[in-house]
Amino acid sequence: MIIMDNTDTIKLLQECDAGTKMAVSSIDEVLEKVCNIDMKQLLQESKSHHEKLGNEIHSLLNSYKSEEKEPNPIAKSMSWMKTNMKMTMDYSDETVADIITDGCNMGIKSLNKYLNQYKMANNSSKEICIRLASIEEQLGKELRKYL
């Protein structure tokens, strides 16, 4: 009998978990500031996709008897400071689109780094990571018209 080491799988899922939480938090931070109804709906739908995938990740982590992962507190604070500083200087939908697009790009970059770092992760966790990157990519593309 072969016993698989789940370390890479768990670590990849934890990074995806932190990523979904960071995305939801970032969207929550700007959502009330958005004036354009279509843009607001786009952000709400993306938040919902992130939450749904986050719940799926939580179930998988529970099945591995593993903890969830919170976003890095430093990254979260820097994101908060950047968002609030930019919004103070220019309170507009264009600024929100810029901030969220930057976040999407950073998320995609991080997720690809984790896919390469945790090569021994199982296929279902890799697929979840790819789905999350795809959600980020789609949101970034759809926000371009508001830049």
Residues 6+ away with beta carbon under 8 Å from 3: none
Q: Mind listing the domains of the chain with CATH numbers?
A: 7-146 (1.20.1260.10)
Confidence of residue 3 (pLDDT cuts 50, 70, 90): very low
**Residue 122, SS3 per DSSP:** coil
72-95 pLDDT, tens digit each: 888 888 888 888 888 888 889 999
Residue 30: count other Cβ atoms within 10 Å of its Cβ: 21
